[in-house]
A = this chain, B = another copy of it.
């Protein structure tokens, strides 16, 4: 067996999205022009939609935003209080991007367990954020493998793209001293990312996940008013650390993640970057830097990698490689 070089040789992949908020909708838009992937299934909290020929992204977004669920899509939509469970059972999908909220922190692992229990086989990719969420998935490693599921975790921007860049950059060094991720995010209107902003607030000293989740929109608005719409975050619990540790690159305490989120301006408050500092075999200390272009949005930097890892995961799954992998161990493949 070998990898296909010509990506044209790969069979068109039937893809599903779980979650259809800001991230899920961006995912649908990213997929729309792709020749190698076909978006055939979407589930949100209240329903799901399936079409073996492919779902029309704009119709799905309209149904969700105007009526509250893709379950209202005509034809193809179904309202359900067990939307993920029913979708898994009824839809031949080879890989899902879990564009789900990170909170509660047990959510991603519980969805993974649902896939394991269903007997479904295929590829799952998440863009989760917290170290503890990856720890829960690690507990499922054996079950995922036995179930024939290839699960790639931490496949968004950070963790994801930047973690992979750190893993790559580490190759120049005999020892890694520090990986420092600093992100800038600018969004025009936080209301489009209600779940994400609460996840960010949960990282602020004095806040907990529970407290952030319980905040009303008005309370979030009031907090943002105090800071001119900006959230400054330091030493965040971010899964980049455990992913680099699992890849054998450095102890997790050498990895730090922080940044600034501007909720009132699509322009990034600073350029997102990762710096990798280490010692070469000759004893020199140096730092490699990977910097994202300011014009690239959070959505582009999360969804692009997520589908790139999904394609790589399909390659592995078709070769019988199952279990839990992270974005630091696999090269995402470009989806055309």
Contact = CB atoms under 8 A, between A and B. Distances in A.
A3 B316 CA distance: 10
Contact of A296 (B7, B280, B293, B324): B280
Interface of A: 1-3, 5-8, 26, 29-30, 32-33, 141, 145, 161, 164-165, 167-174, 246-249, 277, 280-282, 284-297, 299-301, 303-305, 308, 319-326, 328-334, 336
A290 B145 CA distance: 35
A244 to B, nearest CB: 9
Given A249-B334, A334-B248, A171 B304 contact: yes
B293 A291 contact: no
Given A171-B304, A334-B167, A3 B248 contact: no
The 4 closest A-B CB pairs, nearest first, are A2-B323, A286-B293, A7-B248, A286-B295
Contact of A161 (B161, B171, B249, B321): B171
A300 B282 contact: yes
B319 A321 contact: yes
B33 A301 contact: no
Contact of A171 (B29, B248, B290, B305): B305
B3 A325 contact: yes
A286 B300 CA distance: 11
Given A280-B296, A289-B293, 14 more contacts: A2-B322, A3-B321, A5-B326, A7-B247, A8-B248, A29-B281, A173-B304, A247-B333, A280-B300, A281-B299, A286-B294, A288-B292, A288-B296, A289-B290
B6 A248 contact: yes
A114 to B, nearest CB: 20
A44 B79 CA distance: 70
Contacts of A322: 1-2
A2 B293 contact: no
Contact of A304 (B7, B172, B289, B300): B172
Nearest to A336: B248
30 contacts: A1-B145, A1-B323, A2-B145, A2-B322, A5-B324, A5-B329, A6-B246, A8-B248, A26-B281, A29-B281, A33-B174, A161-B169, A161-B172, A165-B169, A167-B332, A169-B290, A174-B304, A247-B334, A280-B295, A280-B297, A280-B304, A281-B300, A281-B303, A282-B297, A284-B300, A289-B290, A290-B291, A291-B291, A329-B331, A330-B331
Contacts of A246: 5-6
Contact of A284 (B33, B297, B324): B297
Nearest to A142: B2
A296 B284 contact: yes
A141 B280 CA distance: 34
A312 to B, nearest CB: 9
A308 B210 CA distance: 42
A9 to B, nearest CB: 10
Contacts of A301: 172
A221 to B, nearest CB: 26
Contacts of A145: 1-2
Given A281-B29, A324-B2, A172 B7 contact: no
